[in-house]
Amino acid sequence: MAVIRDVMAAFELFQPTSVADAQKLLEQHGPDAWVLAGGLDSFDWLKDRIKKPKAVVDLSGIEEIRGVRASGNNGSDGIEIGAMTTLTEVVNHPIIKQKYDLLAQAAEVVASPQIRNQGTIGGNVSQDTRCWYYRSGWPCYRAGGNICYADTPEGRNREHAILHADRCVAVNPSDSAPALIALDAKFVIRTRKGERVVDAENYFIGPDIDITRLHILQPGDLLTAIRIPSTWAGAQFYFEKIRDRNVWDFPLMNVASAMVMSGENSDKTIDRIRIAVNGAAARPLRLKTVEDAVLGKPRNAATGEMAGRVAVQGAVPLQFNAYKIPLMRNLVKRAIVRQGAGVEDAAWAS
């Protein structure tokens, strides 16, 4: 149990200046190593003495994984964002704002300006869950134990999962993750065997696959960059985050969508769409069934209603989070409808 605050347990600090050196250190220390990016998730764990790594590898001195690089003419072939790029840099980058504004919108609602100045895109997608039982050091499944304290009749589970729970009901807290999934981003990982590139949606895993991690990084692996292809550049984007406080809070749920319409005026239909939500499960969910259901349909309230209903199929509420089902239904509906069809069409429904 965490009783000592603000005094970290001793560890060996490494500050490599290249990815190669960082990876060598991570391989050398294996499960005993801790990757430090912006430090905003890390220092919670370390100061609470819940996690006590023997070695901390601080990535802040590695320039090669910092900044946004455009491919082609002004990013016409996509962009690559270094994992250590701060969220503020992501929000303010002109190409991102111009062509991939969905990511800028998502990054802009992460926590507070100070946190966005320090927090990185790599850290935002790789941060651990906010389940307070887990973060308080209770021996739950995610901590290697044999129980989920949140999924009990008396458990405080208002913020927890309604979909794909498997013993653990914690959710992924990232705001940028669903935006990156909607943009069909690729995550570049340096592993012992070389570089590995995975689709954004496959970077995240649920408790059914590994109950102790939210992503696929193994000890020794390092997320170095996020590539966004030009496929969805300039598409119609929608991002909405619902949180208890309108500043500096983790999402209860968020939704991100990228949509391309075809046809003329009133005959316009949805030609291509990618939509993802986070806060509903242990991993951000790409809603493939919703995408399939709305393809070729007009963007109107009926399509939005239908999409919302499809999105929550299979949802199982816990004791205190049944509200998340209408929340998700409405968010998906708004993501479909609000993109040009008018706010009133996407009014909240219980």
Partner 1 sequence: MGFLEWATSPWGQSVPIHIAWFLIWVAVIAGFLFFIVHATYLRYFAKPREFAGSISPAVAARIPDHVPRHSLVARLFHWIMAASMFVLLFTAFLPKVGVQFNWVTYHWIAGTVLTASILFHIIHASFFMDFWAIWPDRIDLRDAWRRTVRAAGKPEPPPDRFAKYPLENKLYHGAIIAAGLSAIITGVFMMFRVRTVFFPRDPYLFSDMTWGMMYVLHGLAGVGLIALIMVHVYFGLRPEKRPITKSMIFGWMSRDFYLQEHDPNRWVVETSSSSSASPSTSKGLEGRGLTDAG
According to CB under 8 A, which one of 5, 7, 153, 193 is a site residue for partner 1? 153
Rule CB under 8 A: say whether 44 interacts with partner 1: no
According to CB under 8 A, which one of 54, 166, 261, 310 is a site residue for partner 1? 166
According to CB under 8 A, which one of 108, 151, 201, 305 is a site residue for partner 1? 151
At closest approach, how far in Å is the CB of 208 from partner 1?
4
Residue 63 Cα distances to 85, 118, 122, angstroms = 10, 15, 14
Rule CB under 8 A: say whether 314 interacts with partner 1: no
Strands 33-36 and 79-82, how do they pair? unpaired
In 16-67, DSSP assigns E strands to 33-36, 55-58
Nearer to partner 1, 32 or 210 (CB): 210
Rule CB under 8 A: say whether 297 interacts with partner 1: no
Nearer to partner 1, 205 or 242 (CB): 205
At closest approach, how far in Å is the CB of 342 from partner 1?
41
Rule CB under 8 A: say whether 148 interacts with partner 1: yes
Backbone angles phi, psi at 183, to 5 degrees: -85, 5
C-beta of residue 87 within 8 angstroms of C-beta of residue 124:
yes
Handedness of CA 202, 255, 311, 269 (dihedral sign): negative
C-beta of residue 179 within 8 angstroms of C-beta of residue 102:
yes
At closest approach, how far in Å is the CB of 319 from partner 1?
12
Rule CB under 8 A: say whether 158 interacts with partner 1: no
At closest approach, how far in Å is the CB of 132 from partner 1?
12
Rule CB under 8 A: say whether 24 interacts with partner 1: no
- Choose the stretch contacting partner 1; rule: CB under 8 A; options: 43-51, 55-63, 147-155, 265-273: 147-155
- Choose the stretch contacting partner 1; rule: CB under 8 A; options: 76-84, 87-95, 148-156, 220-228: 148-156
Rule CB under 8 A: say whether 147 interacts with partner 1: yes
C-beta of residue 47 within 8 angstroms of C-beta of residue 5:
yes
**Residue ranges in 203-262 that form contacts with partner 1 under rule CB under 8 A:** 205, 208-210
Sheet holding 12-14, edge to edge: 12-14, 55-58, 33-36
Encoding tokens for residue 264? Answer: 């003329």
One-letter identity of residue 94: P
Task: Decide: helix, strand or coil at residue 234.
Answer: coil
Nearer to partner 1, 70 or 147 (CB): 147
Nearer to partner 1, 202 or 300 (CB): 202
Residues 6+ apart with CB under 8 A from 43: 8
Residue 166 Cα distances to 34, 53, 161, 208, angstroms = 26, 27, 10, 6
| 216 φψ region: left (φ > 0), alpha (ψ -120 to 50), beta (else) | alpha
Strands 68-70 and 79-82, how do they pair? antiparallel
Element (H, E) at 306: helix 301-311
Site string for partner 1, 256-295 (x = CB under 8 A): ----------------------------------------
**Residue ranges in 186-205 that form contacts with partner 1 under rule CB under 8 A:** 205
Rule CB under 8 A: say whether 168 interacts with partner 1: no
Rule CB under 8 A: say whether 9 interacts with partner 1: no
Q: Give the number of other Cβ atoms within 10 Å of residue 21's Cβ.
A: 15
Residue 317 CA to residue 176 CA, distance in Å, equals 25
Site string for partner 1, 117-146 (x = CB under 8 A): ---------------------xx---xxxx
Q: What is the CA angle 267-271-275, rounded to 5?
A: 125
According to CB under 8 A, which one of 92, 152, 191, 269 is a site residue for partner 1? 152
At closest approach, how far in Å is the CB of 142 from partner 1?
12
Residues forming contacts to partner 1 in the complex (CB under 8 A) are 1, 138-139, 143-149, 151-153, 166-167, 205, 208-210
